[in-house]
């Protein structure tokens, strides 16, 4: 996974989030681009998505809850299953991670077209083991009831330097309205194991 921490425009976030979900004061979030080569009950798949940190749904270790703004997953039937079972705003697409002259680049795809790209230069420091739980909040079903999906994970984080970030979808696409406004940090996640859990209603 190539991951980049970013900031967003508050006005754009307010339009993208439901009224009862609030971004953190510093309007932070990120862009993830990854490939999952194997998984129980899942075919190999690839993904890219933009997310924002939100208030009120922290994990036990203090990690902020997240709201997925837009995602690209593939192949089918995974995108359809994620929309129906988790309520995440994903579309059929995918990603690729490639080596460049300067480092590594992750690309998010919709209809074969590049709409998101993050490029990093790997850092010189050794990768560090990390683990935890990330809470993804979403709206599920016709009632749009808020639910939270816990994603436990273990992996290695390898720090890096951000080189470039580009978000450019076709004219009129929702992705263009939530372009990040700044870059905070960047890196690579390796040897990750994680789980999609059943979403729980938020009272």
Which of the residues in the chain have pLDDT under 50? Answer: none
CATH of 2-201, one of 1.10.10.10, 2.60.40.60, 2.40.400.10, 1.10.260.40: 2.40.400.10
Q: What is the 8-class DSSP label of residue 174? A: G
Residue 50 near residue 70, CB atoms below 8 Å: yes
How high is the pLDDT of residue 78? Answer: 93
How high is the pLDDT of residue 43? Answer: 79
Q: What is the 8-class DSSP label of residue 178? A: G
How high is the pLDDT of residue 38? Answer: 87
How high is the pLDDT of residue 203? Answer: 74
Q: What is the 8-class DSSP label of residue 181? A: -
Q: What is the pLDDT of residues 44-92, one digit of tens each?
A: 999 999 999 999 999 999 999 999 999 999 999 999 999 999 999 999 9
**CA–CA dist 151, 63 (Å, integer):** 12
Q: What is the 8-class DSSP label of residue 11? A: H
Phi, psi of 177, rounded to the nearest 5 degrees: -85, -10
Phi, psi of 43, rounded to the nearest 5 degrees: -70, 160
């Amino acid at each position: 996974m190539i991951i980049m921490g970013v900031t967003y425009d508050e006005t754009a976030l307010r339009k993208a989030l439901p009224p009862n979900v609030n971004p953190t004061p510093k309007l932070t979030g990120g862009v993830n681009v990854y490939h999952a080569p194997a998984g129980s009950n899942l075919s190999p798949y690839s993904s890219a998505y933009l997310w924002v940190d939100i208030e009120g749904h922290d994990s036990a270790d203090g990690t902020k809850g997240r709201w997925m703004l837009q995602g690209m997953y593939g192949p089918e039937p995974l995108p359809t299953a994620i929309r129906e079972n988790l309520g995440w705003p994903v579309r059929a697409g995918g990603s690729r991670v490639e080596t460049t002259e300067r480092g590594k680049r992750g690309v998010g795809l919709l209809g074969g077209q590049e709409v998101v790209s993050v490029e990093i230069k790997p850092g010189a420091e050794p990768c560090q083991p990390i683990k935890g739980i990330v809470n993804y909040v979403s709206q599920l079903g016709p009632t749009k009831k808020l639910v939270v999906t816990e994603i436990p994970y273990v992996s290695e984080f390898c720090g890096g330097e951000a080189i470039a970030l580009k978000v450019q979808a076709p004219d009129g696409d929702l992705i263009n309205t939530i372009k990040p406004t700044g870059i905070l940090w960047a890196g690579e996640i390796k040897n990750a194991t994680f789980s999609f859990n059943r979403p729980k209603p938020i009272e």
